[in-house]
Amino acid sequence: MRTDPRGTGSRTFGTATRGETVPTVPPASKAADAVDVTALLERGRTLATPVLRAAVDRLAPPMDTVAAYHFGWIDAEGNPADGDGGKAVRPALAVLSAEVTGAAPETGVPGAVAVELVHNFSLLHDDLMDGDEQRRHRDTVWKVHGPAQAILVGDALFALANEVLLELGTVAAGRAARRLTTASRALIDGQAQDISYEHRDRVSVEECLEMEGNKTGALLACASSIGAVLGGADESTADALEKYGYHLGLAFQAVDDLLGIWGDPEATGKQTWSDLRQRKKSLPVVAALAEGGPASRRLGEILAADAKSSDFATFSEEEFAARAALIEEAGGREWTAKEARRQHAIAIEALDAVDMPDRVRARFRALADFVVVRKR
């Protein structure tokens, strides 16, 4: 793992302005050119959503309503809403991975639904633990329905995830549930790390990557293999697909960390300098702090003062822009962009270990490319 953010290579992204931050994908993935990623994402969403809604409908009142609010299917008053379902990368991966084994994409649907349920269980609990009041432009569940409902409905979605898989009653479903449990444990470990890092002045690049691997990598790993497992793939195939998904998750998170500072608010729907306002120790920040040059040291002093400042909430746009400029000057932006490309390359390479139809491989590549070029 490279920890020197100056590392090698030129500062390709050093002069990019907001909204143009995300690294260009190297032209390695030519086969992916022919793939319609939008259609691929839409397929996952179309296959998974009805089954997800039917699963959530099983919850006893008022948990069904609270969950429907969380998913954006109804508003706080209970009226139907057309919620932002997110990018739907995970369901797309889950149904695609079923095709590795020659099975129909539908074979991956219970896996897609289980992964989405686990993801949303963690969002419900993390928002409460972190005191986050907004998600996807709406008040979070604990803010609207109270902390007890956020805990309870999170628990219910977690249980439902296992139910959706185990009720299939097959040996493959048991193996899928086993992998989902491993991913869930990693998610929880990642949240434990995230909480403990908040109370620390310094977090190393390695620690940040480990935390992001747990919080983002593990569940994308599971999403990328669970359909294949349900389709009867052997352990080594599932492991290789997990490797693809894990590194794709790290690439995804690196891009998220770039967008969290330099993303275009119009595209991300977040405030300018969003992660800086939340004092997040994201990859660009920890990489900049690890670099050790003059800008890095100055950044360290400023962030240490910020941590004690009682005026932080009233900081101006310019003050955050100055911090972002120091992170960039210390190489944090460039290092993170390169890290996204590096993780993307490892993900693509992991696919080589798996025998699969060319069409399916091209789709995995296209989804990986999408993850690193997205603007939101």
| Measured distance CA(40)–CA(61) in Å, rounded | 34
Complete DSSP assignment for 265-305: HHHH-SPTTHHHHTT---HHHHHHHHH-SHHHHHHHHHHHH
> 73 to 132, contacts with a second copy by CB under 8 A?
121, 125, 128-129
- 272 near a second copy, judged by CB under 8 A: no
Selected binder of a second copy within 182, 204, 272, 278 (CB under 8 A):
182
The residues near 213 (Cβ < 8 Å, ≥ 6 apart) are: 186, 190, 246, 249, 250
- 287 near a second copy, judged by CB under 8 A: no
* Residue 144, burial from CB neighbour count under 10 angstroms (0-12, 13-18, 19+): middle
| Measured distance CA(97)–CA(351) in Å, rounded | 11
Which range of residues in 47-55, 172-180, 238-246, 304-312 is near a second copy by CB under 8 A?
172-180
Selected binder of a second copy within 81, 104, 144, 188 (CB under 8 A):
188
CB count, 10 Å around CB of 151?
A: 16
Query: How many binding residues for a second copy (CB under 8 A)?
Result: 39
- Shortest distance in whole angstroms from residue 195 CB to a second copy: 6
Residue 74 pairs in a beta bridge with: 80
Cis before residue 62, ω within 30 degrees of 0?
Answer: yes
- 239 near a second copy, judged by CB under 8 A: no
The residues near 325 (Cβ < 8 Å, ≥ 6 apart) are: none
| b/e code 156-173 from CB counts within 10 Å (16+ = b) | bbbebbbebbeeeeeebb
- Please say whether the beta carbons of 179 and 225 come within 8 A: yes
Which range of residues in 187-195, 305-313, 326-334, 344-352 is near a second copy by CB under 8 A?
187-195
Selected binder of a second copy within 106, 132, 189, 306 (CB under 8 A):
189
- Shortest distance in whole angstroms from residue 8 CB to a second copy: 33
- Shortest distance in whole angstroms from residue 159 CB to a second copy: 5
Selected binder of a second copy within 65, 135, 144, 181 (CB under 8 A):
181
**C-beta closer to a second copy: residue 64 or 264:** 64
| Measured distance CA(8)–CA(2) in Å, rounded | 10
| Measured distance CA(56)–CA(67) in Å, rounded | 7
- Shortest distance in whole angstroms from residue 58 CB to a second copy: 8
Q: Which two tokens stand for residue 301?
A: 């002093």
> 49 to 78, contacts with a second copy by CB under 8 A?
60, 62-63
**C-beta closer to a second copy: residue 174 or 357:** 174
Pairing of strands 134-135, 138-139: antiparallel
> 129 to 168, contacts with a second copy by CB under 8 A?
129, 147-148, 151-152, 154-156, 158-160, 162-163, 166-167
- 318 near a second copy, judged by CB under 8 A: no
**C-beta closer to a second copy: residue 151 or 322:** 151
**C-beta closer to a second copy: residue 92 or 211:** 211
**C-beta closer to a second copy: residue 211 or 240:** 211
Q: Which of 113, 112, 123 is nearest to 223 (CA)?
A: 112
- 307 near a second copy, judged by CB under 8 A: no
Q: Which two tokens stand for residue 191?
A: 């949240």
Selected binder of a second copy within 34, 54, 76, 192 (CB under 8 A):
192
**C-beta closer to a second copy: residue 162 or 278:** 162
**C-beta closer to a second copy: residue 128 or 367:** 128
- Give Dmax (Cα) for the chain: 60
What are the residues binding a second copy (CB under 8 A)? 60, 62-63, 121, 125, 128-129, 147-148, 151-152, 154-156, 158-160, 162-163, 166-167, 169, 171, 173-175, 177-178, 181-182, 184-185, 188-189, 191-193, 195-196
